[in-house]
A = this chain, B = another copy of it.
């Protein structure tokens, strides 16, 4: 395969990286909004294992590969954890006001 082909694949990879970046940050904004919507339920309600389980099940059901379910679950658990940290940071800020 030519170097041109390799360059074109790398350009496409960069493009997909940027789209994933944009969606992860969009997800972060939605998580923050969701946390605000749940604010009356108290800080211990930010982590919702039932909801997380539901999201992971949906992801497994829609996973068409090439990544295996276990890899997808691992990656999304990291994404969920980052979202949770974002909420906790926001909550700490609120407590300081």
Report which A residues bind B (CB closer than 8 A).
Answer: 1, 5-6, 9-10, 12-14, 16-21, 23-34, 36-38, 51, 55, 58-59, 62-67, 71-72, 74-76, 78-79, 82, 85-86
Contact in complex: A58, B25 (CB < 8 Å): no
Are B25 and A23 within 8 A (Cβ)? no
Point out the residues of chain B lying under 8 angstroms from A74, CB to CB.
78, 82
Residues of B within 8 A of A17 (CB): 27, 55, 58-59, 76
As for how many copies of this chain the complex holds, the number is 2
A30: which of B16, B30, B86 is its contact (CB, 8 Å)? B16
Interfacial chain B residues near A71, Cβ < 8 Å: 82, 85
Q: Which 8 A-B pairs have the closest CB atoms?
A: A1-B37, A28-B66, A6-B37, A9-B34, A16-B27, A20-B23, A71-B82, A28-B67
Q: Which residues on B sit within 8 Å (CB–CB) of A76?
A: 17, 20-21
